[in-house]
Structure 1
Amino acid sequence: MKRRILLRGALAAGLAGPGLAALTHTRHELDAALSADHSTTDVGFWESTAERHSFGYSGQTPVDMLSSLLDDFADLRRSLSRAQTVQNRTALCHATGQMAGMAAIVLHDLGQHREAHRWFGTAARAAEQSGDRLLHAWVAAREAMVPLNYGAPQAAALLAEKARHLAGETPSAASALASAVASRAYAVTGDRDRAMKSVAETEALAGRLSPQQRADTWFGYPMQKHFVHTSQALTVLGETDRAYQAQARALELSRAPSLMTRALIAIDQASCRAQDGEQAEAARLTAEAYGGLPAAYRTGLTETRARALHRSLPPGTPGADRLADALGSPV
């Protein structure tokens, strides 16, 4: 509970003070443990712990999810530091890569992109030590979404291509994710040909995945996630008819507690409306989607997307003042 209180306060202040110190200290301990020539025998416990976290927020707020992960890292670090066999250490590095990657995702969603990059660095190191190229590719693809969503699409494209290389030619959840992120990055940079090619390649990969690879976890590439990425790429490309179809399918497949995902899809819909000349409807949809979120979700990625749409509206757009109020910014 104390950790959650510190973390909430730190996030409210931009991740400064005791909360940031605790987060940084935990990451440094993990890095030190990964450098040690040791391990433990409780591999099964950590594999199941990583799997439990992999189902996403499941109704938790991002801060609560991050706090839960940090609580587990304290014990995981001690496990990594005990004497171990090579096999056990490899398995523990795999679980560490998964869990550090999940912590980085949550930090990304909270808008803490610098700290997210640092945690992705720890996740990549652990994944590399585990010998699992697909996990390493997944980490790179997920990290690419940080610069993609926070203003550096060229860097995102480079990371996505690195992930594609690591994933190889065989269809996998990691290769599909890397291709999907690449399509979005190229769309934002204005490279329409490469973006459309990546959209088509992602479609082909998604159709060749096994049921296990399509699992609805952070490590799978479920069709709901596929349509969310497709919606984003097509929205940026101005392919509004196809984007609306992707958004409808994403909403159909979204789990009930997916508050953040549903809000982001609604903002995509609003962006399409604005491109189709319906600016007032775009303002209304965004104000409703963003303003209807609990306070814990009106930060980071959702706020960034809502502000971007607000900035795109012509002066005097009906409903823009309501959106500005929801954002807490002047009209």
Structure 2
Amino acid sequence: MARRLLRADGLERGNVTHLARQIYDWEKGLHFPRNWAHAYAKAFKIDPSDLFSTGEGQEASSTYEPSPEIEDDEMKRRALLGLIATAAVAAPLGRDTEPLRAALTGTVTTEATDRDADTWERVVHDYTSEIDQLPASVLLPDLLADVTELDLLISRAKEPARSRLVNTAAHLAALTAYELTVLGDSRNARRWWRTAARAADESGDTGTASRIRGKEAVLSLYAGHSEWSTLKCAEATIKADHGRPSVGLASAYSAKAQASAQLGRHDEARQALTQLHRVFERLPAKATEDKTTIWGWSEQRLHHVASYVHTHSGDLDRAQQAQDAAIALYPAESFLARAQIELHRAGSLIKTGDTDTGARHLTQVMENLPSTHRTDAMMRRTAFTSLSLVSPRDSRRPAVKDAYALLAAA
């Protein structure tokens, strides 16, 4: 934030650390950013009157000098709190018409048919292609509106249309859980994962049930749950699949490898990665060729997991190889996944002792994200995990402190 304000004010060589301290004062309500109001407005492309009242404000203080230890702890605390904070969900004005449309749907619907099931399967497919392209705050209200309508259709459906609609509901619930994770609302996400799994079981589609439970295990890595919780979820999926190659099984081994790596159990992480390779080799082409939806399991995902595992073990050569391979395979529109790989790269540099280069690379990656995705909890969790690899002796280096400040400001 400090860098953005300096650029907006035309001060390319301003003191970032000093301004960051003033921002902390403003956010605590100790002072009013009167002299920086125009810079805030320019940085966010908003009229100053929309940001600040016209009342008299107190000039920003320049004497705030907390102890280095308190400053570091505060930065880390704010970064962690930001990871679990729920982002506000803004609804376009057009959604004001939704209650009327939903009421009309309820009036004209007497019985749901296979034609409805066809329509809703297409709806879900479209969502799976959009999920990593549009901000969660945009998609989540749409998902919730569609869940409401689908609930009505299920209540008025008979077999076989009912089972198909329930299966679709399982996917919609899982996508809702996914977006809640992105927004940092891990508790509500966990409830939606439960609903998704139950709906999948009710539909009788074991493939859907496996996909959802495997995806839940992976997403738990970004939801602030303990590694133990992730491992339990992954093991349950592995046990339920009985070794049959599936997207769900691949996701489960992916989650197990990454959780083990975070715990420092590097042998277990490598073993899980080996199992993942074996499952991947047996996956159907439909899964391995799908590079655009969240249910696909193409080769770049394999390199993504390898990048994570080798980054945490400190094997820089293998980590770099996996990162380069993943970047080469990810489509250009998968910008969030590509950014995650670059955050891994920052972590591998940090892990091997090149702390300043790694921290600066991490800061650059986060700053280059579109503004609507900078608060993405999955991206922030990945960044914070990479920063956690900094050794205690390097934790107070300016580049590291700047990276923490960036995460806190977001």
* TM-score clears 0.5: yes
Query: In which range does the TM-score fall when normalised by the shorter chain?
Result: 0.7 to 0.9
Asked if structure 1 preserves the Cα contact closer than 8 Å seen for 2:89 and 2:138, the reply is no
Matched ranges for 1:186-265 at <5 A = 186-214=260-288, 215-216=290-291, 217-265=293-341
1:142 to 211, 215, 227: 215
- C-alpha displacement at 1:171, in angstroms? 1.4
- C-alpha displacement at 1:78, in angstroms? 1.3
Q: Distance in 2 between matches of 1:315 and 1:177?
A: 33
Amino acid at match of 2:265: D
Which residue is 1:117 aligned to? Answer: 190
2:233 is the alignment partner of 1:153: no
Which residue is 1:25 aligned to? Answer: none
- C-alpha displacement at 1:189, in angstroms? 2.5
Q: Which of 1 and 2 has higher RCO (CA within 8 Å, sep 6+)? A: 2
Note the aligned Cα RMSD (angstroms): 2.6
Q: Distance in 2 between matches of 1:269 and 1:152?
A: 24
- C-alpha displacement at 1:280, in angstroms? 0.6
Structure 2 CA distance for partners of 1:74 and 1:141, relative to 1, 3 Å: same
Asked if structure 2 preserves the Cα contact closer than 8 Å seen for 1:283 and 1:318, the reply is no
- C-alpha displacement at 1:317, in angstroms? 2.3
- What is the DSSP-based 3-state SS (H/G/I as helix, E as strand, rest coil) of the residue aligned with 1:213? helix
2:179 is the alignment partner of 1:103: no
- C-alpha displacement at 1:307, in angstroms? 3.0
Amino acid at match of 1:302: M
Gaps of 5+ in 2: 1-82, 92-110
1:180 to 230, 254, 257: 254
Deviates more, 1:258-267 or 1:283-292: 258-267
Matched ranges for 1:1-331 at <5 A = 14=86, 40-41=113-114, 42-57=116-131, 59-82=133-156, 84-149=157-222, 150-214=224-288, 215-216=290-291, 217-299=293-375, 300-313=377-390, 314-328=394-408
Partner deviation per Cα, 1:267-296 (whole Å, 9 max, x = no partner): 110110011111011111100011211232
Give the structure-1-normalised TM-score: 0.83
Asked if structure 1 preserves the Cα contact closer than 8 Å seen for 2:173 and 2:195, the reply is yes
Give the structure-2-normalised TM-score: 0.68
- What is the DSSP-based 3-state SS (H/G/I as helix, E as strand, rest coil) of the residue aligned with 1:221? coil
- C-alpha displacement at 1:123, in angstroms? 0.4
Q: Distance in 2 between matches of 1:312 and 1:169?
A: 34
Gaps of 5+ in 1: 1-10, 20-37
Asked if structure 2 preserves the Cα contact closer than 8 Å seen for 1:138 and 1:178, the reply is no
Identity %: 27
Asked if structure 2 preserves the Cα contact closer than 8 Å seen for 1:56 and 1:218, the reply is no
Structure 2 CA distance for partners of 1:202 and 1:12, relative to 1, 3 Å: closer
Q: Distance in 2 between matches of 1:192 and 1:12?
A: 27
